[in-house]
Amino acid sequence: MPISLANGFSGPQSPGTYAVNPHYRLPYVQIWNLDIQRTLPLNIVLNVGYNGSKGTRLDIVDAPGRFGTAVPNVLYDYEDSVAFSNFNALTVRLRKRMQNGVALGATYTYSHSIDNATSIGGNGGSSAAIAQNWQDLLAEESNSSFDIRHKLNGDFVYELPFGPDGHYLNTGNFLSHAIAGLSVSGTFTFATGSPLTPHYEAAVADVARGSTGSLRPDRVPGVSLTAGGGTVDNWFNKAAFANPPSGDYGSASRFSIPGPGTIAVNMSFSRTQRFAEMKTLEVRATVDNVFNTVQYSGVDTTLGSATYGEVISTAAMRQFTFLARYRF
């Protein structure tokens, strides 16, 4: 039937599947930090720092009506500003300034972030960001989705001491010029993994309103989460979780499964040839994942899935990139 001014706003209306608290308040975050710097012998600079933050009235989405409707025959997602977050981090940095063609730097960070809303940290568009129990939002408190407990990263540069301006092979002959301007540099990262959330296959109603993946299983008491884990086929102990009784919420916490860590070493080899005061040619070869280390990037945590508990994806293997740049 065509819509007109006479009938466009009359008749029964279908209820929506999304609502927002009419008294929604803007969230805010408080941030504080402290950093102490000290210069050590051998041109080494030490920094020790602390960073903290606290989020208040953060955004959270729950699902009223699950296991007993809040509004009869209506299932919908409800957005509110009642979540929180806490973050604390200790950082130690060492930097050796360039001396005799060598520069080094490394940063170690120990941090812990907790919250009860996975919509922070870049996961706001995920169905897993929907709270499991709309009547107990405090039960969502857990590690944050981006919580990485330990992280060590650094970089290095080594300018080879060859050529007319170097300590070796500086006679000025053809070989001396050919190997002048060579340097080796690289970066490295070693870190524990981001945590993963266990969940079980969704019911039809959850699929229909886009909240699939937000219901969690029961945590089996006394069963180790890591026993027998750490392999491709069993990243964690699958027996640590079980389906909850029908109509009950699972007791497993969000982001309670340690995810795969990071091991990344990249290197670059470059040579710079100067033709005149303002003209140089730089040739660079870069190798990502120089040791071709297999990096796991995804684990199936869906109870009941055919690949439950298995590693299902990996990051990119070794890659080479070549670059030539002429400056004038």
pLDDT at residue number 64: 83
Quickly tell me which residue has 């929180």 as its tokens: 84
What's the number of domains the chain is made of?
Answer: 1
309-320 core/surface letters (b: 16 or more CB in 10 A; e: else): bbbeeeeeeeee
Residue 280 lies in a domain: yes
Tokens of 213: 């993946």
> Does residue 67 belong to any structural domain of this protein?
yes
- Helix, strand, or coil (residue 129): helix
Q: What one-letter code names the amino acid at 15?
A: P
Each residue's pLDDT tens digit, 27-49: 999 999 999 999 999 889 999 99
pLDDT of res. 280: 83
Q: Is the pLDDT of residue 71 over 70?
A: no
What pLDDT score does 134 carry?
87
Q: 284 vs 100, which has greater pLDDT?
A: 284
Per residue in 238-283, pLDDT (tens digit) is: 999 999 988 788 999 999 999 999 999 999 999 887 777 778 888 8
CA angle 62, 64, 70 (to 5 degrees): 160
pLDDT at residue 19, as a whole number:
87
- Whole-model pTM: value is 0.82
Greater confidence, 81 or 120? 81
Residue at 13 is within a domain: no
Taking only Cα atoms into account, the Rg of the chain, rounded to an integer number of angstroms, comes to 28
| Cα separation, 150 vs 147, whole angstroms | 9
Spatial contact of 147 and 259, defined as CB atoms under 8 Å apart: no
Q: State pLDDT tens for residues 148-199.
A: 999 999 999 998 887 666 666 666 666 666 677 788 999 999 999 999 999 9
- Per the structure, the complete domain to which residue 57 belongs is given by 26-327
In angstroms, the CA 26 to CA 40 distance is: 46
Domain assignment of residue 7, yes or no? no
Question: Considering only CA atoms, which of 162, 167, 163, 159 is closest in space to residue 185?
Answer: 159
Q: Number of C-alpha atoms within 13 angstroms, CB side, residue 115?
A: 28
Contact 132, 140 (CB under 8 A): yes
Average pLDDT over residues 59-80: 74
- Kind of pairing, strands 262-276 and 182-191? antiparallel
Q: pLDDT for 119-153, tens place per residue?
A: 655 444 444 578 888 888 999 999 999 999 999 99
Token pair 């039960």 is found at: 139
Tokens in use for 250? 């699972």
Nearest to 62 by CA among 163, 254, 211: 211
Residue 72 exposed, middle or buried by CB count within 10 Å (0-12, 13-18, 19+): exposed
Assigned domain for 5 exists: no
What integer pLDDT is reported at residue 122 of this predicted model? 45
Structure-block tokens of residue 237: 């102990």
8 domain-assigned: no
Closest CA to 286 of 271, 269, 272: 269
Which pLDDT score is estimated for 127?
A: 47
Distance separating alpha carbons of residues 156 and 103, to the nearest angstrom: 6
The chain-wide mean pLDDT, for the chain, equals: 85
Task: Give yes or no for a contact between 115 and 56, defined as CB atoms under 8 angstroms apart.
Answer: no
**Strand 199-200, strand 296-299: pairing:** unpaired
DSSP character for 126? S
Question: Is 18 a domain residue?
Answer: no
> What is the Cα–Cα distance from 60 to 117, expressed in whole angstroms?
5
- Closest by alpha carbon to 102, among 60, 31, 155? 155
DSSP string over 61-127: EE-TTTTS-SBTTB--EEEEEEEEEEEEEEEEEEEEEEETTEEEEEEEEEEEEEES-TTTTTTTTSG
Give the residue-averaged pLDDT of 281-302: 93
Identify whether 15 is part of a domain: no
Q: What is the pLDDT of residues 192-245, one digit of tens each?
A: 999 999 998 766 555 555 556 788 999 999 999 999 889 999 999 999 999 998
Q: Is the pLDDT of residue 290 over 90?
A: yes
